[in-house]
Every structure is written in structure tokens, then in C-alpha cells.
Chain A
Amino acid sequence: MKILFVEDSGIMRKSMIKMATASGYKTVEAENGAEALARLRKHGSSIDLIIMDWNMPVMDGYETLLKIKGSQEYSHIPVLMATADGVEEDVVKAVKAGAAGYLIKPFSPEDLVDKIKSLVSPDFSHRP
């Protein structure tokens, strides 16, 4: 399974990628929403989950989420928002925009892996 991590903090990207690869997942990374869309154009058919921060420069997580869910090619990919902003209105906003889940920082490696497992079917039946 391949996960696209979208996070402007390099050290947090390293941290989450380490958590994911320790559980056997393959990873792709992007620093912001614009890079994430570029990665999707390159890897789109092989990405099973997107884990994305909200506050990022260039293109933030919410705008990127809208673009992903508005596209025909990538809208099937579940998007997990992983962000330090945990206020209820933002969670509701993300879910209404099509986010499959919301993970509030800080979180443990176990929290992240449990969330990944809850969003992606083991047989990848979510792929078109």
C-alpha cells in the first residue's frame, strides 16, 4: 500500500513516514498542496491514501482536498487530515468537503497506524 504524505514541516514528514514505513507501507511525500497534486499526476493510480496537513504555504490542505475530491481521477482516494487544528468547525468543514477522517496532532505512531488501517480496505477494493 502506498501513502502520500502532504506536510510542510520536513521533520513531521520524516516522523510520519518513519511511522508508516515501520508498519510496512510505501510512501510518497509532498511539501504543500500544489506538490501533492503533482505527485498524484505522477503516482495517482498507485496511491491508496493521502494524509494531509491543513495549514501549508502555496496551497493549503482544505483547497487541496477540494481539488482532489472534485477530480475524476483521484476522488476515490481517501484523504485523512492530520493537523494541529482540532476545532469542531474545521473538522465538520473537512468532512463536508470529503475528508475520510481527521487526526489531531499530537498523535502516537499507534494512533496513525490505527487510523490508516481504518480507512484503507486490506484488499484495496477502494481503487477504481
Chain B
Amino acid sequence: MSSTDLRKGNIRYVEDAEFSADLTASVLSADHTTNYDESSFAFSSDSRLLAFLCFSVCEVIGLTAGEESSHQETFLFARHSKLLGEVSATMDLSGDLSAKVAVSFPADLARLLCGRIAGCPPGKLAEEDICDGVGELVNQISGRARTFFNDAGRNIKIGLPQVHLGEGLPFEYQGDSSCYAMIFYCLGFRFALQICPTASLPITDTP
């Protein structure tokens, strides 16, 4: 799926789902036919935000880690979500858009990517190096998205990254907000960019 598909509103909607390990596995796998309702949006003002983030993820992984990644699918969870990976970094956005962004990796992928960034064998990295690397990735992804938004006339500030280790950690922002999860594929693994916006950004679909 390309970022153009996002602008057509091809987002899978998950309502009132119990955020179990099965759901996490299902979201991260190629098979999306179980356990949840599906509806598409004719147009979402969030689609521009998602397109910016999609581009940022692929650009950052490509240039910083030297690896290709591709966007697979996007989900919208009606209720609060959990971090989908084992090594995650979160960042707050504020200003014209108020949101929490997370990049969430399986541990093995986090280690591989950080090895690529540091230019050393992944096995030689300490846990703090991996936390540092994942924090830097979310910093760069948020920074690039901020640049896109500011160029579009929207003022956004980004906070400092925070790293979280562990599976199934809660991911929510300002109460019972909905949450997008964009699933990407890289080096044989799937990882997620998750975002909880508090309000849709009023950017139209036209340039």
C-alpha cells in the first residue's frame, strides 16, 4: 500500500477490541480476516497526517539505517491501544496538532536497525545503544513530519523521545482517544508507527 492509498481512506477500523496478544499478532501479520470490524473512510482529514508520517518512516529508515521499508496497512483503533512491539519510543507533538507518536519494533528488528545505524554487528550493541537508536529514529521521524507540517503552514513542536521496553505496554493520549497503527515491513519483520491524535488536523486533501 502506498501513501496515496491512505489519502483514499483505506484504513481498517477496529472498534471495542480487547487488545489481546492474538489481536496484536493479527495486526502485525499478513492475515487480517479475524476478530474485528472493518470499514473504510471516504475521506479522512487525518489521512494527510498519516501520509506525512508514512513518508517520514520510510525516509528515515532508508537514510539513517540504510534499509528499505514499506508501508503495509493502517488500522484505526476506536479505543486506546497498546504498543505493538517489544522496543518502542514515544514522542509528544504539540501546537496545531496535539498527539502522541510511537515507533514500535520487535526486539530483533530494533537490534538489526541499530546495528546498521552504528555500523557495527548487531550482537555487539548494548541494550542502552538499542534504546538510544530507537529513540533517535522516533526523533527523526517526528522531526521530518514536523517539517512537512510547518511547510504546509501548520506549527508543530516535538518533545523529547522516551523509550519503553516490553510487550503490550499501554499506548494512549489524553484519555480515551482513538489510535492509528501503521504497519511497515523491513528486513523480514513488521513494525508499527502508532499515533493518538486528540483532534484531526484541518488540512484538506488538495495541495
Contact = CB atoms under 8 A, between A and B. Distances in A.
Interface in A6-24: 9-12, 14-15, 18
B143 A86 contact: yes
Interface in A48-81: 55
Majority secondary structure of chain B interface residues (helix, strand, loop or mixed): helix
Interface stretch (A33-41, A105-113, A115-123): A105-113
B143 A9 contact: no
Contacts of A15: 64, 117-119
Given A15-B118, A106-B59, A87 B147 contact: yes
B93 interface: no
B147 A108 contact: no
Given A9-B136, A11-B118, A105 B147 contact: no
B148 to A, nearest CB: 9
A108 B114 contact: no
Contacts of B144: 84, 86, 106
A76 B92 CA distance: 37
* Band of interface residues on A: 10 to 19
Contact of A85 (B63, B146, B160): B146
A84 B119 contact: no
A99 B139 CA distance: 22
Contacts of A87: 146-147, 150
Interface string B63-82: 11000000000000000000
Interface stretch (B44-52, B127-135, B165-173): B127-135
B98 interface: no
A85 B129 contact: no
Contacts of B160: 55
Contact of A107 (B63, B120, B142): B63
B60 interface: yes
Nearest to A19: B119
A83 interface: yes
Nearest to A111: B63
A105 B140 contact: yes
Nearest to A57: B160
21 contacts: A10-B129, A11-B117, A11-B132, A11-B136, A12-B136, A14-B118, A15-B117, A15-B118, A15-B119, A84-B142, A84-B143, A84-B144, A85-B158, A86-B144, A88-B150, A104-B143, A105-B60, A105-B143, A106-B62, A106-B140, A106-B144
Closest 7 CB pairs of A and B: A84-B143, A106-B63, A86-B147, A106-B64, A18-B119, A11-B133, A87-B150
